[in-house]
């Protein structure tokens, strides 16, 4: 059994653990060995085998006593944007290198309470700012310097970002599941690029407490795994109100997101925005999306043509709002209470400026600069307030669309994963590639990406967007698709 353990998904492994066909220690040991064997991918930035095995032994005791919770003994890994007491948290940044949090993020705590065992922390773009995971500034496990995460489907390509380590680890079967965060597409786009399933719930579903803040009105946590069924199980454990710790947590009780998985799709109206299949989409990607829509029609769904007329505007709107919020959130990194501090400085102001210059990477500085500018006196109305108004219009467009359909489908990204270095440090090229995930993020809607085919050997994901709090329906549509197809079961060669 042990040789095949990494092929098991979360649901299957949880069942095998409960039936005592495999122990939590065996599962953890097996995954730790794989992480070590494939460390060249650069997916992990922190691993502590003793910690993992101790958690696994505790899980085995619970399993032996018959006290298993939904995920008892299932090994998972966390994006390094979630703070953890047991492992360092860097958010991919030199300014937090070696930081040890005095508390666990709510999402981390909830998953631990559901019985999950932690395999380690996963690489991500610095402060989750990036679409390629090339903006990571801390060394991966087994490296002395920062390295980009490699896509297991083609090691010369990026895994997507910012949850690139999470996507690569799940695709390479280094973990059956991982946590991710999605601010403008950081779960859906890497899930698409690495051929895994990922869901970002409605804004406010998962607590932001202990997620290193990037853009507070957009940041949401979600799971990445190999199937919609597994994501439903994980998401149920992750979500729930956290009113004492997160001021924007939704007043909705925790839900069993698996409850509708098996529902029929007969009569389901799937809206396809014409802006999502325009000239900017690679032909191979469009072909995969069309084939997936045809599959949905076979399953009883009906295709409805819709429009989201402000899709292109979501790029400037998002990059203004996210940068504004980031410039505010990142003002806490001043070299006083935690993290890096510059060595030589004249006075307090000089210490701040040098510390931040040394500690932040290029993309982070760019966004702080843009955000500072759009919030500054004389520019606030023209940029930040205008962006918030157009944000309202984008959210309203979705409500118009949902009068005609139950779900929206399209590509998660215009292309497959690009080559490492291909965007050549042109940040605007990265921004443009986020076009299909940004509208849903701005509106705060739940969205997911599911594997639906390949273009030139690289995975292509179909993005599904639902109305507020419709996660169970999204997961239902994804699950039925995965019962009818096997794209989600494909593994990259050698993994």
Partner 1 sequence: MSLTASDIARIASLARLQLAPDESERMRGQINGFFDLVERMRAVDTNGVEPLAHPVATIQDVTLRLADDIVSEPNNREANQRSAPAVENGLFLVPKVIE
Q: 281 to 310, contacts with partner 1 by CB under 8 A?
A: none
Rounded Cα distance, 177 and 231, in Å? 8
Among 29, 173, 286, 356, binds partner 1 (CB under 8 A): 356
**Contact by Cβ (8 Å): 321, 217:** yes
Among 7, 20, 298, 389, binds partner 1 (CB under 8 A): 389
Among 24, 351, 458, 478, binds partner 1 (CB under 8 A): 351
Beta carbon of residue 272, minimum distance to partner 1 (angstroms, whole number): 23
Q: DSSP states of 78-131 as a string?
A: EETTB--SSS---TT-GGGTT---SS--HHHHHHHHTTPEEEEEE--SGGG--S
Among 44, 209, 276, 360, binds partner 1 (CB under 8 A): 360
**Measured from the CB atom, is 451 or 466 closer to partner 1?**
466
| Closest to 43 in 3D by CA, of 149, 135, 144, 128 | 149
Site residues for partner 1, 437-466, by CB under 8 A, read 442-444
87 in contact with partner 1 (CB under 8 A): no
421 in contact with partner 1 (CB under 8 A): no
Q: Which stretch binds partner 1 (CB under 8 A): 1-9, 176-184, 190-198, 380-388?
A: 380-388
186 is catalytic: yes
Q: DSSP states of 286-309 as a string?
A: HHHHHHHHHHHHHTT-EEEEE--T
**Measured from the CB atom, is 170 or 394 closer to partner 1?**
394
**Measured from the CB atom, is 3 or 349 closer to partner 1?**
349
Site residues for partner 1, 226-255, by CB under 8 A, read 243-244, 247-248, 250-251
Distances (CA, A) of 478 to 171, 354, 401, 441, 489: 18, 48, 20, 19, 13
**Measured from the CB atom, is 152 or 427 closer to partner 1?**
427
Beta carbon of residue 205, minimum distance to partner 1 (angstroms, whole number): 10
Among 353, 485, 490, 491, binds partner 1 (CB under 8 A): 353
Number of residues counted as binding partner 1 (CB under 8 A): 75
**Contact by Cβ (8 Å): 311, 273:** yes
Q: What are phi and psi of 143, to 5 degrees?
A: -120, 155
**Measured from the CB atom, is 243 or 262 closer to partner 1?**
243
Buried b (16+ CB within 10 A) or exposed e, 110-138: bbbebbbbbbbbbbbbbbbbbbbbbbbbb
Tokens of residue 355, six digits: 């510390």
423 in contact with partner 1 (CB under 8 A): no
Question: Counting Cβ atoms within 10 Å, is residue 142 exposed (0-12), middle (13-18) or buried (19+)?
Answer: middle
Q: 288 CB contacts (<8 Å, ≥6 apart)?
A: 411, 452, 453, 454, 455, 460, 462
Among 36, 217, 307, 483, binds partner 1 (CB under 8 A): 217
Query: What 8-state DSSP symbol labels residue 407?
Result: E
Beta carbon of residue 174, minimum distance to partner 1 (angstroms, whole number): 28
Tokens of residue 178, six digits: 């991982």
**Measured from the CB atom, is 159 or 335 closer to partner 1?**
335
332 in contact with partner 1 (CB under 8 A): no
Site residues for partner 1, 24-53, by CB under 8 A, read none
| Closest to 86 in 3D by CA, of 55, 51, 58 | 51
Among 144, 283, 337, 378, binds partner 1 (CB under 8 A): 337
Pattern 138-157, partner 1, x by CB under 8 A:
--------------------
422 in contact with partner 1 (CB under 8 A): no
Site residues for partner 1, 187-216, by CB under 8 A, read 202-204
**Contact by Cβ (8 Å): 320, 387:** yes
Rounded Cα distance, 430 and 428, in Å? 5
The maximal CA–CA distance of the chain, rounded, in angstroms, is 70
Instruction: List alpha helices for 172-312, DSSP H.
Output: 188-194, 228-238, 283-298
**Measured from the CB atom, is 297 or 357 closer to partner 1?**
357
Distances (CA, A) of 167 to 103, 110, 155, 161, 380: 25, 21, 13, 9, 37
Among 50, 253, 344, 349, binds partner 1 (CB under 8 A): 349
Q: 472 CB contacts (<8 Å, ≥6 apart)?
A: 232, 255, 257, 258, 259, 260
**Measured from the CB atom, is 153 or 383 closer to partner 1?**
383
131 is catalytic: no
Among 39, 139, 263, 431, binds partner 1 (CB under 8 A): 431
249 is catalytic: no
Among 315, 401, 462, 474, binds partner 1 (CB under 8 A): 315
**Measured from the CB atom, is 193 or 352 closer to partner 1?**
352
Helix (H, G, I), strand (E, B) or coil at 228: helix
Among 392, 419, 421, 484, binds partner 1 (CB under 8 A): 392
Instruction: Please identify every residue annotated as catalytic.
Output: 79, 162, 186
């Amino acid at each position: 059994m042990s040789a095949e353990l990494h092929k098991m998904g979360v649901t299957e492994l949880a069942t095998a653990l409960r039936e005592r066909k495999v122990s939590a220690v065996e599962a953890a040991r097996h995954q730790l060995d794989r992480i070590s064997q494939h460390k060249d991918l650069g997916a992990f930035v922190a691993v502590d085998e003793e910690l993992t095995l101790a958690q696994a032994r505790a899980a085995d005791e619970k399993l032996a006593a018959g006290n298993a919770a939904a995920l008892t003994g299932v090994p998972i890994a966390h994006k390094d944007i979630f703070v953890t007491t047991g492992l360092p948290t860097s958010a991919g940044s030199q300014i937090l290198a070696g930081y040890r949090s005095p508390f666990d993020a709510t999402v981390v705590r909830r998953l631990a309470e559901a019985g999950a065992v932690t395999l380690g922390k996963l690489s991500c773009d610095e402060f989750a700012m990036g679409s390629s995971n090339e903006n990571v500034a801390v060394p991966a496990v087994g490296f002395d310097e920062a390295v980009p995460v490699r896509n297991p489907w083609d090691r010369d390509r990026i895994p997507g970002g910012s949850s690139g380590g999470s996507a690569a680890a799940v695709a390479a079967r280094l973990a059956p599941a991982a946590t991710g965060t999605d601010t403008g597409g950081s779960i859906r786009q890497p899930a698409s690029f690495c051929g895994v399933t990922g869901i970002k719930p409605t804004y406010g579903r998962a607590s932001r407490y202990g997620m290193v803040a990037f853009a507070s009105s957009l940041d949401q946590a979600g799971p990445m795994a190999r199937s919609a069924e597994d994501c439903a199980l994980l998401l149920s454990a992750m979500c729930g109100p956290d009113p004492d710790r997160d001021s924007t947590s939704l007043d909705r009780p925790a839900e069993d997101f698996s409850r509708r998985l098996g529902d029929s799709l007969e009569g389901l109206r799937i809206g396809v925005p014409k802006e999502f299949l325009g000239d900017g989409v690679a032909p191979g990607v469009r072909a995969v999306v069309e084939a997936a829509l045809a599959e949905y029609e076979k399953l009883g769904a009906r295709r409805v043509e819709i429009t989201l007329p402000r899709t292109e505007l979501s790029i400037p709107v998002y990059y203004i709002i996210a940068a504004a919020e980031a410039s505010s959130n990142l003002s806490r990194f001043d070299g006083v209470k935690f993290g890096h501090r510059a060595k030589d400085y004249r006075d307090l102001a000089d210490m701040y400026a040098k510390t931040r210059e040394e500690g932040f990477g290029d993309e982070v500085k760019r966004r702080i600069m843009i955000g500072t500018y759009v919030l500054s006196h004389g520019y606030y109305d023209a940029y930040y307030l205008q962006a918030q108004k157009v944000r309202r219009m984008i959210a309203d467009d979705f409500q118009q669309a949902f009068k005609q359909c139950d779900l929206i489908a399209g590509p998660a990204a215009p292309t497959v994963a690009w080559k490492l270095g291909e965007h050549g440090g042109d940040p605007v090229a990265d921004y443009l590639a986020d076009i299909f995930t940004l509208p849903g993020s701005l509106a705060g809607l739940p969205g997911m990406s599911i594997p639906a085919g390949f273009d030139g050997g690289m995975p292509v994901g179909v993005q599904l967007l639902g109305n507020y709090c419709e996660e169970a329906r999204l997961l239902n549509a994804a699950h039925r698709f995965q019962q009818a197809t096997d794209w989600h079961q494909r593994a990259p060669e050698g993994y």
